[in-house]
Structure 1
Amino acid sequence: MGRRKWQARASTRRRQNDDAKNRSSQVVELGEQTSSNSNQTDLLSLLALKEALNVDPNGALISWNRTTNFCTKINLGNNIFNSRIPQEIGLLRRLEYIEFSNNLFTGRIVPANISLWRNLAWVRTKFWRNLTSLRTLYLRSRGFEGEIPQSLSQLEGLSYINLGDNNLIGTIPLGMFNISTIEQFKVDFNDIHGTIPSTIGLTLPNLKLLVLGKNQFSGRVPISLSNVSSLELLVLSVNNFNGIMPRFGGLSKLDSLYAAETLIEDDISFISSLTNCTSLRVLDLGDNPLITGSIPETIANMSTLFDRLRIYGTQIVGRIPAGIGNLIRLTRLQLSYNNIEGPIPLSIGRLFNLRVLNLEDNRITSDAPSAFGNLTFLYSLSLQINNFSGIIPTSLVNCTTMRELDLSRNNFIGPIPREILIPTSYVFWNLSYNELTGSIPVEVGSLTKVEVLDFSNNRLSGLVPNSLGMCNSLEWLHLEGNLFEGQIPQGLGSLRGLTNLDLSRNNLSRTIPIFLSELHLQKLNLSFNILQGKVPITGVFKNKTAISLEGNKNLCGVIFELNFPPCSSSSISSKNNLSTPIKVVIPIVGVAAILCLIIILYKRRTINTNLLHATNGFSEYNILGRGRFGSVYKGIIDNGHTFLAVKILNLFVKGATKSFMAECNALSGIRHKNVVKMLSVCESVDFQGNDFKALIYEFKANGSLDKWLCYNREQEKGQSETQLRYLDIKQRLNIAIDIARAVEYLHCGTNSTIVHGDLKPSNILLDQDMTACVGDFGLAKIISSILSPQESSGTIGIRGTIGYVPPVCILT
C-alpha cells in the first residue's frame, strides 16, 4: 500500500515536471522574439489574464495573442466583465494605465485566488506596489467592495485615480494624500468615512479634481485647499462636513464647486469671496439648512462664465438681488425651498440663455413679470408654492421651447391665456390651487406632447373641452375642485395612454360614459358631482380601490362593493302605440322646428361674431374689469370710431342669469346722465353651443372710480404725467354730487324705486370729462310703489359687497 502511494506521488511529480517543461518550452518559444525575461513574464501574464477573464461577450480581448510581448496600457472599460481582478496584473511592472470602469467586476481591489500568494496581508500591503510604472487607475465598476488597499499608497508616480461608484468602506489610506503627483482623485459614491487631512493643500500641490461626493466624510473642509491654485473641480456634496466654508477666492482656475447636502454652517455672504474665481461656472450649495443670511449684491460681480447657480433648501432670506441680471450666461438658476421674499427683479429678463428657473416654495409676493417672455430658451419654469398674484403673463408665448410649467399654489387670477397654449412642446403643466376663472380654452388640444395636465382647485367653469382628446400623450389629467358642468366629454375616450383621471368636486352631470371602462386607468375619481344612471362594470370599475364615486346620489349599479342601489328597469316607451298619422306628422313638425332653429342660431352666431371682432376675440388686453358674474371688455366698432363696454355673463356662476335679468329690468326704462346707458342686449349661443348673454354699454374713457382713489405708486414709475391718476378736492366733490343725483333719481325719479344694492367705487364710472355715472345693476331691485314698506324691504334681503351694504338693509 505504501509502495502504491509512493508510485502515485511519483507519477504526479512527473506530470508536474512535464507541465513545467511545456511551460518552459512556451517561454523559450515566445522568448525568441524578446531579449528580456521581464517581457516574457509580461506576455505570459497577459495570456493568463485573458484566460482568467473567461467571459468576453464583446470580444474586447481578441487582439491579445502571442505576438504581443508586453503592454503599458490595459483598457477594459465599458464591457460586462464580471470576474474579480486577476492576480497576473501584479506581474505587469511596465503597466502605466488600467481602466476597468463600467463593468461588473466584484470583490476587493486585490487579485483573485489570493491563496496562491503568501498571505492576505501581503496582498493588501504589497501587491499594488509592484506596479511601479502605474500612472492611471480607473476602477469605477459598481462592484468593488472592502477597504482601499494600503499598497496603493506606494504608487509614487500615480496621477489619476478613480475608485468612484463602488461599495468601498473604511478610510482613505493616509499615504495616498502624500503622492504629490496626483492630479485627479475620485472616490465618490462609496461609503468611506473619516476626515480629510488639513495638509492636503500642501501635500497634493498638483491637484486638479477632488471628488469626494456621496460618502460619510466628516470634519471641516480643509482650509489648505484654498491654496491649491491648480484646482478646477471640487465635489464635497452629500457628506457630513461641518463648520464654515473655506474662502476660495484665490483659485483662479476653479470651474465647479459642489457642496450640496453637507453640514456647512455659514452665512451665504461667503460667496462674495468667489468673485475672484474668474473661471467659475457652477456653484451648488443645495440642501444646506445651516446656511443663513441673504444673497449679497456682489453676486453681480461673479465670473462672466457663470453657468449654474443652485442655492436651495437653506435658511436664506431677503430679495433676489437685481444684479442677478449681470450673469447673462446663466442657464440654470435654482433658488427653491428658501425664505426669499419680495418681487422678482425685472433684470431677470436679461438672462437670455436661461434654460431652468426654479423659485419653488419661497415667499415671493408680486405679479409674475412679463420679462419672463424674454427667456426664449426657457425649458422649465417652477414658481409653485409662493404668493404670486395677478394674471398669468401672456408673454410666455415667446418661450417656444418650454416643456415644464408649474404655477401651482399661488394667487393667480383671471382666465387661462389662450396665447400661452401656442408652444406645443409642453410635457408638464400645473396651474392647480389658484383663483383662475373662465373656461379651459379649446386650444388646449394643441398640447399633443403634454403628459401631465393639472388645472385642479381653481374656479374654472363651463364645459370640459372635447379638444382634450387631441392631447395624445396625456397620462395624468386633474380637473377636480372647479365649477365644470355638463357631461364628461367623449373626446377623453381617445386618450389611450391616460392612467390617472380626477374630475371630482365639480357639477358634471348625465351618465358615466362607457369609454372610461375601456381606458387603461389606474386611478379614477368622479366623486361629488351630479352624475346619474348605471355604473359600468368592466375595466377600472372592477377595482374598488382604484375608483371613487361617492357624492353622486343618483348613481346605481350591480357592483356590490360600491354600495349603490340596483338600477330599476326602464319603462316601456309608448311610441309603439302611436297611430300612423301621428308617426307622419311628428317628423314633419320636427324638420320644420330644426329649420327654424338653424335660422335663429345663424342670426345669433352673426351677433356673436360681431362682438368677437369688436373685442379682439375677448382678448385679455381688452379687459376693463371683472366681477362676480362676468367680465367687461372694451369693444371697438365703426373702424375705430366708436367704443363700447361689453359685459359677458359667466352663466356657470350661480345667480348670473338672475343678475342679467335684474340689470335689463333696471336700465330698460331709465335715462339719466349720471346712470350708465345700456345700448343693447345679446342673448345667444356661443361657438360651443353654450348659452351666451351679454350687455352692451356706453364706454367710459376714465374707467372706474376705485382706480383713481386707490392707485398704486409702484405702477406709476415710468409713466408719463398724463397717465398718473389723481383727484383734486374739486373733482372729488363733483363726483360725489353726481353719485347723489343718480341715487336720488333711482329712488325718486321713476314710477318705481330702484335700489342699486352694490354701490361702491368700482361700480362708479368716469366719462371723458370726469362726469360720474353709476353702473353695474346686477344686484338691483325694483320696488313697486304700491307695496307696503314691510313688503318692500322684505323682498330685498341682504345684498351687495361686504363693506358697502347699506346699514338699513342689515338692520331691517
Structure 2
Amino acid sequence: MELGSMTKLLVLRVSTKTLTGGIPPSLGNLSLLIYFSVAYNNLEGNIPESIGHLKSLSAFGVAVNKLNSMVPSSLYNLSSISAIDFVFNQLSGALPANIGLTLHNLKLFFIGENEFFGPIPGSLCNASKLQILDLGRNNFVGSVPTNLGYLLDLEHLRLSYNNLGRDLDLTSLGNCSKMESLIFKSNQFEGVLPNSIGNLSTQLNALKFGGNQISGIIPTVLQNLINLNSLEMDENLFIGVIPTYFGKFQKMQGLDLSGNKLSGQIPSSTGNLTQLVQLNFSRNNLEGSIPPTIVGNLKNINSLDIFENNLSGEIPTTIGNILNLEELHLQGNSFEGIIPSSMAYLKGLELLAVSRNNLLEFIPKGLEKLLFLKYLNISFNDIEGPLPIVGVFKNVDATSVIGNNKLCGGIPQLQLPKCPKVTKSRKSLAS
C-alpha cells in the first residue's frame, strides 16, 4: 500500500534501521497524522515541502539519518507541533526570525549535529512552553539572545560547538528556575565568568562551558549551584587557585578543570566529593603533593587525570584503595620515590601513565598480573632492574619504557640490554 493512501493514519513510527531512500512527498496526504518518527534509519534526501499539509502534526522526528538540504519553510509554520527532532543529519539553513511566534506550542526542539547557520532568533522566547532547546554542533553565529529567561519551563539548553560569542550574558537565565543543564562548550566566549552565574537555578546539575576563552578567577558565587553533578570548565584561561568550596558539591560525579592556568595546591576539600567518578585537573600549574584525602576518600573514581602540572612528593601508597580506578594519568610532574606496589590491587586498571617524573627503583611485582591493563607508560624516569615479559609487558605497542637507562630484559622488541646473571656467593651456598 502506498504511504499516501493511508489517509486515516494517526501515528507512524519506524525505527528499524532498515528504511532507505527518501521521505516521499505523499506524506503530505496523511492529513490526520499526529505523530511521525523515522529516527535511526538510513533515509537520504530532503524533507518534502508537503509536510506543511499536516495541520494536526504534534511530533516530527527524523533523528540519526542522512537527510540534507534546507528544512522547508512549511514545517516552521505548523503551529500544532510540540516536538521536533532533527539531530545527527546534514540539514542546513537559517532558522526563521519569527520561529518562536509560528511554533508557539514547541516544547522539544532538537536540531543538534547538523549544519544550520545564522543567528539564534530572539523570537524563541515566544515559544514559552519550551523545555529542551538543543542547538549544539551547528554553525550558529552572533550573540546568545538575552531574552531566553522568558522560557520559564526551560530545563535543558545546549549551545555547544558553534561560533557564538563573545560576551557571555547569563543574567536572564536566572529566571529559568527549572533549568537542569546548561551547556555552551566550544564557542568563542571570553571575558570573566559573570557573577550572574550564581543566580542560575539551584536545580542545575550539569554546567559545561569548556573550550572557550573565559578568564579571571573562578568566582565565589559558583558555590550557590549546590546540586551540580557535572562541571566542565576545561580549556579556558582561568587563573588563581581551585576554590576550597568545591568540596561542598556533594553530588559531583564529574569535575574537569583541565587546560587552564590554575596554580596553588589541590585543595584537600576535593576529597569530600565522594561521588566523583571522573576528576581532571591536568595541564595547569598546580604544585605540592597529592592530598591524602584524594586517594583516601574517592572510592568511586574510575578516571584520575592530574598530568602536566608541577606536582611533587611521592605517589601515595593508598592509591591502591581506589578499586574502581580504570585510568591513572600522572605523567609530566615531579613525583619522586617508587611506583607503589599497592597498584597491583587495581584489578580493573586499563591505563597507567607515570612518564616524565623522577621515579626510581624497580617495577613493582603484580603489575604484570593486571589482566585489564592495556597501556603502560613509565618512560623517562630512573627506574631500574628487570622488566617482566608477561601481561602488558609482552606487548611492545602497549608499553613505553624509554628513558630508563637501568632497565634490562623484557621482550626483544624493546631492545633493552640483557640483565646480568645473579650468582650466589660461596658463603650463601654453604649456609
When normalised by structure 2's length, the TM-score is 0.94
C-alpha contact 2:380 2:403 (8 A) present in aligned 1 = yes
What CA deviation, in whole Å up to 9, does each residue of 1:231-283 have, x standing for no partner? 00111111111111012111111011111111112312x12321110010111
Partner residue in 2 for 1:311: 209
Name the larger-Rg structure: 1
What CA deviation, in whole Å up to 9, does each residue of 1:323-348 have, x standing for no partner? 22222211111111111111011110
C-alpha contact 2:332 2:356 (8 A) present in aligned 1 = yes
AA aligned opposite 1:480: S
Partner residue in 2 for 1:362: 260
Deviation at 1:300, TM superposition (A): 2.0
C-alpha contact 2:319 2:342 (8 A) present in aligned 1 = no
**Aligned equivalents of 2:195 and 2:206: distance in 1?**
17
Shift in CA distance, 505/588, structure 1 to aligned 2, threshold 3 Å: closer
C-alpha contact 1:486 1:507 (8 A) present in aligned 2 = no
AA aligned opposite 1:106: T
| Residue 372 (1) aligns with residue 270 (2) | yes
Partner residue in 2 for 1:201: 100
Deviation at 1:165, TM superposition (A): 1.3
Partner residue in 1 for 2:377: 478
| Residue 189 (1) aligns with residue 88 (2) | yes
Partner residue in 2 for 1:335: 233
C-alpha contact 1:435 1:458 (8 A) present in aligned 2 = yes
C-alpha contact 1:475 1:497 (8 A) present in aligned 2 = no
Partner residue in 1 for 2:400: 502
Partner residue in 2 for 1:130: 29
Q: Out of 124, 149, 152, which is 2:48 matched to?
A: 149
Q: Out of 127, 131, 152, which is 1:252 matched to?
A: 152
What is the DSSP-based 3-state SS (H/G/I as helix, E as strand, rest coil) of the residue aligned with 1:317?
strand
Deviation at 1:496, TM superposition (A): 8.0
Deviation at 1:137, TM superposition (A): 0.5
**Aligned equivalents of 1:391 and 1:108: distance in 2?**
60
**Aligned equivalents of 1:249 and 1:301: distance in 2?**
12
AA aligned opposite 2:7: R
Partner residue in 2 for 1:213: 112
What is the DSSP-based 3-state SS (H/G/I as helix, E as strand, rest coil) of the residue aligned with 1:363?
coil
Alignment of 1:472-621 (within 5 A): 472-488=371-387, 490=388, 493-495=390-392, 499-510=397-408, 512-513=409-410, 516=411, 525=414, 531-532=417-418, 590-592=428-430, 594=431
Deviation at 1:494, TM superposition (A): 4.1
| Residue 282 (1) aligns with residue 181 (2) | yes
What is the DSSP-based 3-state SS (H/G/I as helix, E as strand, rest coil) of the residue aligned with 1:201?
helix
- Count of aligned residue pairs for this structure pair: 426
**Aligned equivalents of 1:129 and 1:186: distance in 2?**
18
Q: Which has the higher contact order (CA 8 A, sep 6+)?
A: 2
**Aligned equivalents of 1:335 and 1:473: distance in 2?**
31
**Aligned equivalents of 1:214 and 1:372: distance in 2?**
35
Partner residue in 2 for 1:321: 219
Partner residue in 2 for 1:235: 134
Partner residue in 2 for 1:225: 124
**Aligned equivalents of 1:590 and 1:186: distance in 2?**
78
Deviation at 1:129, TM superposition (A): 2.7
5+ long unaligned stretches in structure 2 = none
Shift in CA distance, 157/590, structure 1 to aligned 2, threshold 3 Å: closer
What is the DSSP-based 3-state SS (H/G/I as helix, E as strand, rest coil) of the residue aligned with 2:56?
coil
| Residue 99 (1) aligns with residue 13 (2) | yes
5+ long unaligned stretches in structure 1 = 1-44, 46-86, 111-123, 518-523, 534-553, 555-585, 595-812
**Aligned equivalents of 1:295 and 1:589: distance in 2?**
72
What is the DSSP-based 3-state SS (H/G/I as helix, E as strand, rest coil) of the residue aligned with 1:170?
strand
Shift in CA distance, 463/97, structure 1 to aligned 2, threshold 3 Å: same
Deviation at 1:588, TM superposition (A): 8.5
Deviation at 1:178, TM superposition (A): 1.1
Deviation at 1:404, TM superposition (A): 0.2
What is the DSSP-based 3-state SS (H/G/I as helix, E as strand, rest coil) of the residue aligned with 1:309?
strand
Deviation at 1:525, TM superposition (A): 4.5
Shift in CA distance, 458/157, structure 1 to aligned 2, threshold 3 Å: same
**Aligned equivalents of 1:216 and 1:526: distance in 2?**
50
C-alpha contact 2:142 2:163 (8 A) present in aligned 1 = yes
AA aligned opposite 1:337: E
Partner residue in 1 for 2:23: 109
Partner residue in 2 for 1:768: none
Partner residue in 2 for 1:456: 355
**Aligned equivalents of 1:363 and 1:526: distance in 2?**
39
AA aligned opposite 1:97: V
AA aligned opposite 1:470: K
**Aligned equivalents of 1:246 and 1:463: distance in 2?**
59
What is the DSSP-based 3-state SS (H/G/I as helix, E as strand, rest coil) of the residue aligned with 2:60?
strand
Shift in CA distance, 143/320, structure 1 to aligned 2, threshold 3 Å: same
What CA deviation, in whole Å up to 9, does each residue of 1:516-554 have, x standing for no partner? 36xxxxxx6456xxx247xxxxxxxxxxxxxxxxxxxx9
Deviation at 1:167, TM superposition (A): 1.4
Deviation at 1:301, TM superposition (A): 2.0
What is the DSSP-based 3-state SS (H/G/I as helix, E as strand, rest coil) of the residue aligned with 1:336?
coil
What is the DSSP-based 3-state SS (H/G/I as helix, E as strand, rest coil) of the residue aligned with 2:342?
helix
Partner residue in 1 for 2:242: 344
Partner residue in 2 for 1:301: 199
Deviation at 1:133, TM superposition (A): 0.8
Partner residue in 2 for 1:384: 282
What CA deviation, in whole Å up to 9, does each residue of 1:721-758 have, x standing for no partner? xxxxxxxxxxxxxxxxxxxxxxxxxxxxxxxxxxxxxx
**Aligned equivalents of 2:415 and 2:124: distance in 1?**
60
**Aligned equivalents of 1:216 and 1:407: distance in 2?**
36
**Aligned equivalents of 2:67 and 2:426: distance in 1?**
88
Shift in CA distance, 379/588, structure 1 to aligned 2, threshold 3 Å: closer
Shift in CA distance, 322/413, structure 1 to aligned 2, threshold 3 Å: same
Deviation at 1:185, TM superposition (A): 1.1
AA aligned opposite 1:94: K
**Aligned equivalents of 1:525 and 1:356: distance in 2?**
37
Identity %, equivalent residues:
31
**Aligned equivalents of 2:425 and 2:93: distance in 1?**
91
C-alpha contact 1:323 1:347 (8 A) present in aligned 2 = no
Flag the structure with higher helix content.
Answer: 1
Partner residue in 2 for 1:674: none
Partner residue in 2 for 1:404: 303
Between 497-506 and 412-421, report the one with greater CA deviation: 497-506
**Aligned equivalents of 1:189 and 1:590: distance in 2?**
72
AA aligned opposite 1:400: K
Partner residue in 1 for 2:163: 263
What is the DSSP-based 3-state SS (H/G/I as helix, E as strand, rest coil) of the residue aligned with 1:316?
strand
Partner residue in 2 for 1:654: none
Q: CA RMSD in A?
A: 2.0
Shift in CA distance, 165/587, structure 1 to aligned 2, threshold 3 Å: closer
AA aligned opposite 1:201: G
